[in-house]
Amino acid sequence: MNFFLETIQVLLLSIWYNVESFIHLFVPRRKKNVAGEVVLITGAGSGIGRLMAQEFAALGTVLVLWDINQEGMKETAQLAKQSGASRVHYYLCDCSDKNEVYRVADQVKREVGDVSILVNNAGIVTGKKFMDAPDSLIEKTMEVNTMAHFWTYKAFLPAMIANNHGHLVSIASSAGLIGVNGLAGVCFLLLIT
C-alpha cells in the first residue's frame, strides 16, 4: 500500500475509534460475566495482586492465589472470602523457578481444575540504581518480571486453547515508558519485553 492510502486508512480508523469511544461514554459496553471462572493471580500476597483478588472475589470467581509470602496470601484469602469469592485456594510458589511453576500448576489443575483467567502480576522492584544492584538481584528481577510469564503461559494456555476459552492478563509498570530513578532494572526489562 502506498503512503497516501496508508495515511487515509489511519485517519479513517482514528475517526472511527474516536466516534466509537464517544458513543460508549453514553452507552456503556456490556460487562463480561466472570462468575464461576477460575482466576489465578500471581503475586497475590499484597499490593495490586491483593486488590485484584478482592475485585475478582466480589464478582463470584474461584480464586487461586500464588505468592512467595505465605502470610500475605493468608490475609488476601481472608479478604477475598469476605468479598464474596465462592472458593479461595492459595499456594506458595516462586515464579522465578520454572520447575516450581510447573509443579504447582499441575497441583492446581488436580485440586481446582482448569484456570480460565491467568493474571501474571508477580514482580520485583529493586529500588536500586543499576550499578548498585547486585547481579543476582538483576537476574531474579528478569526471572520474575519476564520469564515467569512464559512459564505460567506454557502451564495454563494449552487447556485454554483446548476449551476455546480463557484470558491471559499481564500486569506491567509504566516505568517501561520513561526512565525512573532507582528503577533502572524494571525500566530496562520493560523496554526489552
* Shared-domain flag, residues 18 and 78: no
Confidence (pTM): 0.82
Residues 77 and 144 reside in one and the same domain = yes
- Under 8 Å between Cβ of 61 and 35: yes
132 with 58, same domain? yes
- Asked whether residue 124 falls in the same domain as residue 50, the answer is yes
CATH of the domain at 74: 3.40.50.720
As for how many domains the chain has, the answer is 2
99 within 8 A of 83, measured Cβ to Cβ:
no
- Do 99 and 115 sit in the same domain of this protein? yes
| Co-location of 1 and 96 in the same domain | no
Q: How far is CA 103 from CA 5, 83, 109, 140, 176, in A?
A: 52, 29, 10, 19, 31
Indicate whether 22 and 39 sit together in one domain: no
In whole angstroms, give the CA distance from residue 15 to residue 73: 46
Q: What is the pLDDT along the chain (193 residues), one digit of tens a residue?
A: 588 899 999 999 999 999 999 999 999 888 899 999 999 999 999 999 999 999 999 999 999 999 999 999 999 999 999 998 889 999 999 999 999 999 999 999 999 999 999 999 998 877 777 788 888 888 888 899 889 999 999 999 999 999 999 999 998 777 666 666 766 655 555 444 5
Cα-Cα-Cα-Cα dihedral of 13, 16, 17, 22, to 10°?
Answer: 160
Domain coverage including residue 8: 1-30
Query: Facing residues of 66 across strands?
Result: 42, 91
Q: Are 6 and 61 found together in one domain? A: no
